[in-house]
Amino acid sequence: MNVRRFVISVLLLIATELMAIAEVNADETLTLGVFAYRPDHVLQERYQPLADYLSRETGIRIRLEVLNQENMSRAIAANRLDLFLTNPSHFLLIRSERSLTGVLATLVRRSRESSTASLGGVIFTRAGRNDIEHLADLRDKTIASPGVHFLGGYQTQVLELLDAGIDIRRVNLIRFLGTHDRVVRSVLSGDADVGFIRTSILEQLAQTDPDLFTRVKVLNRQRLAGFPYVVSTRLYPEWPLVALPHVNERSVRKIASALFAIEPEDDVALAIGIAGFSPPADYQSVEYLARTLRVPPYDQVPQLTWVDALHQYRLWVFTILVLVMLLVASSLWLGRSKRQLASEQRRLRQLIRSWPQAALLIQGGVFSDTNRASVDLLRYSSSESLIGKDLAVFSPEYQPDGEISRQKLASMLARVSEGQVEQCEWVLNRSDGTEVWVELTMAPVHTEDEPEALILCSLYDITRRKRAEQRQRLAASVFEYAREAIFITDNHGIVIDANDAYLAITGRPRNRAIGRLPPLPVDEGTGIFASARAQGFWSGEFASRRNDGEPIALAVTLSSVRGDHGEVSHFVGIFSDISRLKEQERKLRIMAHYDALTGMPNRVLFADRLQQAMALTRRQSGKLAVVYIDLDEFKPVNDAFGHEAGDQLLVEIATRMRAELREEDTLARLGGDEFAAIVMNVQDDASLESLLVRLLARVAEPAWVADHSVEVSASIGYTLFPQTGDLDGDQLLRQADQAMYQAKHRGRNRYVRFVEPSA
C-alpha cells in the first residue's frame, strides 16, 4: 500500500471523526454523492431538489456532489462522502471495497403515470440500419457504451448477448464514452453502429427531442407488460441509496424516514422524476450477473486454495482420488503382472533353450525358434540353419513306414493345428548325412484366439534304442528260428522259456515244457546245473526220451547267466537232437568192423579181437588157436553161377562154420573166400583137430545155390598161441596163412599146422 496515501487517509479520517464529534447536534453537513450517469449539469439540476428536501426534512444540511464513478470511488475512499446514490454494479464494487453494510433504500423511477424499481439495458441502433435486426447481427459491429461499470449501459447487454452466444468483449470494438448521452449521440451520428444505454435514457431524452424514437431502432425488445420503458434485456433492481458507516445512526434513520416519506405526487418526486424510494431491493441478481460476467468486483478469480477446492469439490476430489488410487494400484498390479509375465517368458525361453532335448517352435509350418539341443541333434553349427525351414527339409524322402515325409508332416501339422497332440517316430538326416531316429512330439501351444498356429515340436534321439531294438529283434528271431533247442531256466533249473525247436525235439507241449526241468542226463541229473554254476558251462551228450517215449540222443550245452552282482540268475541251454548222428556213427562202426556180406567181423575187428584174445589167453595161461580158412574151387562157382550165387554160397558156408564154433570163438571174413577164426581155450590138439575136421566136413557139404547143388572144400592152416617167441597178432595170422598155403599144396580139403620153418 502507498504509505503516503494511507497516512493521508488516516489523517482525513481522524479529521472527519473530530468534525463529526464536534458537530453533533450542531449544524451538521452530510455530502450526498450522485453518480453522473448523464452529464453533470443534468444530474446536478435533477437531484438538487432531493438534497434540499432532505436538508429540510432532517435538519441536516445535505450537500449534493455529482461525480463520475472514479471520482466517487476516490471520494468514498477519502471518506468525503456520507451518502451516495449510484447504480447497483458500482454499489457492489464499493461495497466490496468498503465492506458496506446495507442499502437505505432503492430508487423507484417514474415515467409519466407508471413507476418501476427495475432497470434494464437498451440495445439500439440508428433507424434505417437494416443490416442490424437481431442480436446475432451485432457481431463485428462497433458498440458505444458509457463504461464497464454501468449496469444498464453495459453489463446487462453483455449478459444478454452472452446468452445469445455472442461474447462481444472478445469480438467487438467497444467504445466507452463515459455517459449515456454521448452514447446516444455517437450512435445517432454514426460513429458507433450500436449503442448500449440503460432504460429510461431514451425516454428522458425524448422529452426534449420528441422525434428521437423515430431515429433509433431498439433491438431485442422485451415484451414486459407494465414496464414503462423500452428494454432489450432482463431487469434488475434500481439504484440503491447507501449511507456510509461513519454516518451516525440517528442521521441515517432521519434520512431513511425522509426518503420513504416521499410520495409520487410530491413536488420533490416530480422534480427529480422519481416515484420515491422503496425498501432496499435484493441485489443478489446483480451480484450473480457480475459474477457471471466476471466484472469488478468479481473480475478476479479468487485464489482457490487446496482446502477451498477440497471443501467445494469434496465428493469429486474423493472420487478422483479413489480413481487415481485405483489407477495407480491397477498400474502397479499390471506392471507386476507384466514383469512376472516377462520373467515367466524368459524362464520358459531359457527352459526351452537349455533343455537337453531338442525343441523347436513351428509357426506357419516352418521353424521359428530352436534350441541348442536341436541344432546339435542335426549337427548344424547355429540355429540360423534351421529357422525358416520345415522338418521335411531335414528328413529323407520316405519315412521307414513307407510314407512320403512331406505328406506325413503336412497331415500331422494339420491335426496339431486343430488342437491334437501328435507323437510318432521319425527319421532325420543330419548335416553329415547320417541318419538319426527321433521320437517326434508336436503339440499346439497357441491359444484359440491366436490366428496363427504355434506348435512346439520336440525331438528325442532314439537311435540307440532303435539299434538295441533291432538287436533284440534279431536275438528273438534267432531264438525263434534256431534249429537247436534253446531254453532258459531260472537259477534252480526250471525252464522259464523255450523255443519251438525245444518243443519239437522234446515232443513236449509248451505247457509241459515251461515250469519243469529240461531233459537231463540220467547219471548226473540236476548236477549239471551245479557244474555250469561252478565252471560257467556244462556240455555233454546223453540219451533221453521224447515225451512219447521214443529215445533220443541230445548234445547239450548249458551256460550260466550272471546278474549285475555276479550271482547266477539264469541258465541258458542249447541242445540238438543227435539221435541220427549216433545211428550213423553206429552204422559206420559196424561197416568198419564187419563184413557187409556175411555180417562176420572183418579183418580189422579180427585183428582187434585177436589182440584181446591174446591178452586174455596170456593172463589165463591158456591156449588159443588162429585158424585160416580158404575155400577151394570157389571161383568156378562164381564164374558159373554169378556173383550172387557166390555170395549166397559164402553166406551159407560162413553160417555153417560159425555154427561149429563156440560162443567165445571168433569167425571173421578176411575178404573174398578167405576166413579166419580164433579158437579160445584150446585144451589139446585133439579137440582142436576134431573141430577142424568138423569144419572141413561142414564146408564140404553140398549147398543149394542158384537152383543148383554146389560143393566146395576148404584148405585150413592153423597155429597156436602162445609160442616160445613173443608174437603179435599179425604174425600169428601170417603163420596160419602160411599153414593154409601148405594145406593147398598138400592137396586141399585138409588142415595143416604151422610149423616153424627150420633155419
Partner 1 sequence: MQRREFLGFSIAAGLSAAGLPGCSSSGPLRFGIHPWIGYEPLYLADDFNWLPETVALRPGTSTTDSMEGLLAGALDGAALTLDETIRVWSRGLELVVVAVADVSAGADVLMVKPAIDELAALRGQRIAVELNGVSGIMLLKILEVAGLGPNDVTKVDLPVSQHADAWSRGEVDASVCYEPTASMIESLGGVRLFDSSDIPETIFDVLVVTRETAKKNSSSVRDLVRAHFAGLQHLVRNMHDSVYRVADRQGIAPDEVRSALATVMLPDLAANQRYLRAAGPIETMAGSLSRLMLAEGMIDRNPSIQRLSDPLFLPARVP
Among 534, 515, 514, smallest CA distance to 524 is for 534
Q: Does 227 bind partner 1 (CB under 8 A)?
A: yes
Helix or strand run (H / E) with residue 619? helix 603-620
Q: Which is nearer to partner 1, 130 or 284 (CB)?
A: 284
DSSP code of residue 536? S
Taking only Cα atoms into account, the Rg of the chain, rounded to an integer number of angstroms, comes to: 78
CA distance 69 to 90: 7
- Please tell me whether residue 112 binds partner 1 under the rule CB under 8 A: no
* Cβ atoms of 98 and 242 closer than 8 Å: no
Q: Residue 64 CB, nearest distance to partner 1 (Å)?
A: 27
In the complex, the smallest distance separating the C-beta of residue 85 from partner 1, rounded to whole angstroms, is 18
Q: According to CB under 8 A, which one of 151, 158, 230, 281 is a site residue for partner 1?
A: 281
The conformational region for residue 541 under phi > 0 = left, psi -120 to 50 = alpha, else beta, is: beta
> Which of 25, 284, 300, 305 lies at the binding interface for partner 1 (CB under 8 A)?
284
225 binds partner 1 (CB under 8 A): yes
CB of 183 to partner 1, least distance (A): 23
Binding flag, residue 727, partner 1 (CB under 8 A) = no
Annotated active-site residue 131? The verdict is no
Q: Which residues are paired to 551 by β-bridges?
A: 545
> Parallel, antiparallel, or unpaired for β 142-145 and 173-176?
parallel
Give burial (CB, 10 Å; 0-12/13-18/19+) of 658: middle
Cβ closest to partner 1, residue 234 vs residue 379: 234
DSSP bridge pairs for 611: none
Give Dmax over CA atoms of the chain in angstroms: 225
Cβ neighbours, 10 Å, residue 654: 21
Between 142 and 222, CB nearer to partner 1: 222
Q: Are residues 427 and 399 in contact, defined by beta-carbon separation less than 8 angstroms?
A: yes
Stretch that binds partner 1, among 20-28, 222-230, 340-348, 726-734 (CB under 8 A): 222-230
**Judged by CB, which is closer to partner 1: 313, or 333?**
313
Q: Which of 45, 70, 133, 282 binds partner 1 (CB under 8 A)?
A: 282
* Number of residues located near partner 1, criterion CB under 8 A: 20
**Residue 134 is a binding residue for partner 1 (CB under 8 A):** no
Q: Helix count (H) and strand count (E) of the chain?
A: 26, 31
| Closer by beta carbon to partner 1, 223 or else 662 | 223
Nearest approach, Cβ of residue 98 and partner 1 (Å): 24
Site string for partner 1, 287-316 (x = CB under 8 A): -x----------------------------
Contact 736, 626 (CB under 8 A): yes
Smaller CB separation from partner 1, 225 or 301: 225
- Site for partner 1, residues 135 to 164, rule: CB under 8 A: 163
Least CB distance to partner 1 at residue 238 (A): 8
Report which DSSP code applies to 151: I
Identify the three-state secondary structure at position 527. helix
Using CA atoms, how far apart are residues 484 and 498, in angstroms rounded to an integer?
A: 11
> Per rule CB under 8 A, is residue 237 in the interface with partner 1?
yes
Give me the phi and psi of 152, to 5 degrees please. -80, -15
* Span interacting with partner 1, options 137-145, 198-206, 277-285, 540-548, rule CB under 8 A: 277-285
Asked if 543 is part of the footprint of partner 1 (rule: CB under 8 A), the reply reads no
Nearest to 574 by CA among 535, 522, 534, 532: 532
Task: Write out the three cell numbers for 457.
Answer: 515340436
Q: Select 67 or 119, whichever has its Cβ closest to partner 1.
A: 119
Name the catalytic one among 193, 665, 673, 737: 673
Q: Which stretch binds partner 1 (CB under 8 A): 132-140, 232-240, 324-332, 352-360?
A: 232-240
Residues that bind partner 1 (CB under 8 A): 117-118, 120, 163, 222-227, 234-238, 281-282, 284-285, 288
For the annotated catalytic residues, the residue numbers are: 673
